Amino acid sequence: MTLITRDNDPHEGPEPEPTRSRPAVSRFSSLDSYFQISERGSTTGREIRGGLVTFFTMAYIVILNPLILGGFSAETAATDVEGGWLAAAQVGAVTGLTAGVMTIIFGIFANLPFGIAAGLGINSFLAVSVIGDVTWAEAMGLVVINGLLIVFLAVTGARTAIFNAVPRQLKAAITVGIGLFIAFIGFVDSGFVSRTAGGPPVQLGDNGSVTTLPTLIFLIGVITMGILMARGVKGGLLIGIVTTTIIAVVVEAFLDLGFTGPDNPGGWHLNAPVIPSSIVSIPDFSLIGQFSFGAFDRIGVLAATMLVFTLVFTNFFDAMGTMTGLSKSAGLANKQGNFPRLKSALIIEGVGAVAGGGTSSSSNTVFIDSAAGIGEGARTGLASVVTGFLFLAAMFFTPLTAVVPLEVAASALVVVGAMMVAQIREINFQNFSIALPSFLTIVTMPLTYSIANGIGVGFITWVLIRAGSGRAGKIHPLMWVVAAGFLVYFARGPVTAWLGG
């Protein structure tokens, strides 16, 4: 990963680890050999720290996923076509279980420092757009089918072929776009950026100014982590997360800010940083296996197929973009943007979608928040194993996962986003047939809040502009196929209405 430190030139790699850190790995020679820790220039300590940081920046999903998919009663939950709903406690349990198991499997077999958990795009799509027509069990059945199709594409090599067909500079643009995207997520989650009642789509804080203490703590976190990273402090992100969380706990203890809402605009955005009175909870796994393939009978084959098509495209290209960005940030990608064990990673990510549907936790995919652990130094699957076991532990210590407020996790996302944007140096902006598709890829991700949208716009404009400027012979045939698929994806609303009519 290329970091800008106080001594490094931006075009150089990170400073090498001091030689005294190497013996720490030698005591764990089996781990070192299996995970290629020394070979990738890392240490056991860095992998453990990276795994911890990834967990802390992803832990919010154990709290947020139940709020999106479930609730505490039928009145507070997203209800399906038959009035059914998912209990938040049960969703929380299967969210931690699936994330833990899949992240461990990914770490062991793909040997990459990527965490896997319920994807926020698909879970929101299910809760908002799907269950109005089908039951929750039938919606999760569609997720399972989506996952099986992705696994099939990965096993046959089609997914790898598409990945390899993407031009190197477009892959760099995807990485940069993801960096801006996760930074934008951090700004929004912290309240630093918010919607306006009218006028511009977004604004700074509340009416153009920072007015809440949680947002101020987010800024303290950004500055703290930024200073630590700039000074090359080992564990800088982890230290920053812990330090800022302690500040947040102290502030909440004295001022009792509570949760944000219409009557309390100055509160915390998801979870108040309070030390819980009880730290242990018993997970309820009742949702495992509660899926059905009845959607095709309920809404018809064409309508159900379009829903699966939407899930596959979103899942497929969100994951492809995320893995591209993370592998380049970790310094594991070659000049073409490909990384070790690519096929295994793509297969396991597809299995995560199947597992998510099978447990009703929604499709599980590679999490972009893993970039925080990579920023901490994670380079191997050992970090993922650490993250996975922490997710399994989180099932029993759910109250503790709520101590780190969303504003602190948002600080880490902004800092890591800044690191990922450094990949922009690989894009040749002097060649406008490359510059415009790359630019549109980069800006579309944060502006539409979707990695898949950014990739789609990039694919379509790449083939059209490159072909229109006399470079059609240099475009991989699969780029044309995928670009055509994205045209259908972007027009899926009218297409679905036309087929239904």
For 417, the token pair is 């986003």
| Mean pLDDT value of segment 138-159 | 94
pLDDT value at residue 18:
40
pLDDT of res. 500? 61
Distance of alpha carbon 188 from alpha carbon 36, whole angstroms: 37
In this predicted structure, the answer to whether residue 214 has a pLDDT above a threshold of 80 is: yes
pLDDT of residue 318: 81
Contact 329, 1 (CB under 8 A): yes
Q: From the CB of residue 128, how many other CB atoms can be counted at a distance below 10 Å?
A: 11
SS (H, E, C) 330-374: CCCCCCCCCCCCHHHHHHHHHHHHHHHHHHCCCCEEECCCHHHHH
How many other CB atoms sit within 10 Å of the CB of residue 18? 8
pLDDT category of residue 5 using cuts at 50, 70 and 90: very low
Q: Do the Cβ atoms of 151 and 390 come closer than 8 Å? A: no
Q: Is 276 helix (H, G, I), strand (E, B) or coil?
A: coil
* 204: helix, strand or coil: strand
Q: Which percentage of the chain shows pLDDT scores above 90?
A: 41
Q: Whole-angstrom Cα distance, residue 237 to residue 249? A: 18
Report the C-alpha gap between 77 and 83 in whole angstroms.
10
Please, what is the average pLDDT of the chain?
A: 85
More reliable by pLDDT, 279 or 440: 440
Q: How many helices (H) and strands (E) does the chain have?
A: 22, 6
Q: Measure the CA–CA gap between 372 and 352, rounded to whole angstroms.
A: 21
State the helix-helix crossing angle for 44-58 and 381-394, rounded to 10 degrees: 40
Mean pLDDT is lowest, of 178-182, 190-194, 291-295, for 178-182
Cβ atoms 126, 342 nearer than 8 A: no
Which pLDDT does position 76 carry in this prediction? 65
Task: Determine the average pLDDT of the residues in 454-461.
Answer: 92
Q: What's the rounded mean pLDDT across residues 3-9?
A: 40
Whether pLDDT at 13 is above 70: no
Q: How far is CA 89 from the centre of its chain?
A: 23
Mean pLDDT score, 155-165: 87
* Residue 318 tokens, joined: 């969100």
Q: How far apart are CA 328 and CA 338, in angstroms?
A: 9
> How many angstroms from the chain centroid is the CA of residue 193?
20
Confidence of residue 499 (pLDDT cuts 50, 70, 90): low
Q: Give the C-alpha separation, 252 to 260, whole Å.
A: 13
Q: What is the pLDDT of residues 28-47, one digit of tens each?
A: 678 888 999 999 999 999 99
